[in-house]
Amino acid sequence: MTAPPLSEPEAETLPVIEFVAPMPGFPDNRRFMLVRVDDDGLLYAMTSLDTRGLRFLVAPPAPFFPSYAPEIDDETLGALGTAEATDLLVLLVIAAGTSARDATANLMAPIVFDQTTRRATQLVLVGSGLSVREPLLVARS
């Protein structure tokens, strides 16, 4: 199943996200909320509700990588309780650099979020050949 791109109305109403398993390296963090960072809706802060001060910069892939469409396996869909592909949002974790030109996106491990169940996971696409540090602005050029 391939997730559709993030649409603007959905971005405005995103609820608290609960991860079905913690993100690698963050075992005590399962609950996050999304906060819009820019007026264009391109960047969000995924802020932990479990650890004060922990947040990740995330973005929908479509504005930066229009052809990015990770395959989401049945096991992941089951863990999220997903009934329809249209319920899914895919977000990329962004590593901010010292300047905007240094920012990179993790294409190998997107965040997959089911809007109906409010469950999420970081899906590690092992063997995909995708980059964990794909330049962000080069993609938009």
Here the tokens at position 55 are 């947040």
Q: Where do the structural domains in the chain lie, given as residue ranges? A: 8-140
Q: Does 8-140 carry CATH code 3.30.70.20?
A: no
Segment 16-73, tens digit of pLDDT: 899 999 999 999 999 999 888 888 878 999 999 999 999 999 999 999 999 999 999 9
Segment 50-64, tens digit of pLDDT: 999 999 999 999 999
Can you give the pTM of this predicted structure?
0.85
- Amino acid identity of residue 12, one-letter, is E
Instruction: Check residue 8 and report its DSSP letter.
Output: H
Give the span between the Cα atoms of 84 and 47, in whole angstroms: 26
Here the tokens at position 53 are 């001060």
Give the span between the Cα atoms of 102 and 49, in whole angstroms: 28
* Among candidate residues 1, 36, 22, 17, the one with its CA nearest the CA of residue 116: 17
